[in-house]
Amino acid sequence: MRKTPLLNSNLSLVISKMGHTDMIAIGDCGLPIPKESERIDLALVNGVPTFIDTLKVTLMELQVEEVLIAKETMEVSPNLFEEIKKVIGDVKITFISHEDLKKDLKKCMAVVRTGEQTPYANIILKSGVVF
């Protein structure tokens, strides 16, 4: 059995395949996931699991050098944005439009769907290196 905290085998597999600059997204339950992207559906009921909990666990496994966040997140859901900043620490944040974020989902190795219902609770994580 794994010693690391992440138990979801699909998410763990995608993370283990990621190389430098590969991307994975975590989104709310309403984020449209392109057919081209692998869907990892964790949503159980409204709010479970949360976006922040899913982000925290993913960051335990994945080295991230940059995140892409929709500008709308900061404007519409400022409390969520503040939580994101606390969780990611000093990782570079690049702001893009929500429309561009949705287009960039096609470039992601996978999109993780949570039960989150906070508007614009979506992020793209760009993989870094540990050396």
The 10 Å CB-count burial string (b at 16+, else e) for 4-33 is eeeebeebbebbeebeeebbbbbbbbebeb
pLDDT at 105: 98
Instruction: Please indicate if the annotation marks 43 as binding a ligand.
Output: no
Calculate mean pLDDT across residues 113-129.
Answer: 98
Active-site residue identified among 9, 13, 17, 20: 20
Q: What is the pTM of this model?
A: 0.96
Annotated catalytic residue 20 = yes
Which CATH superfamily, name and number, covers 23-127?
RbsD-like domain (3.40.1650.10)
Residue 98 marked ligand-binding = yes
Structure tokens belonging to residue 2: 């794994």
pLDDT digits (tens, 9 = 90+) for 62-90: 999 999 999 999 999 999 999 999 999 99
Which helix (H) or strand (E) is 55 found in, with range?
helix 51-61
**Is 28 annotated to bind ligand?**
yes
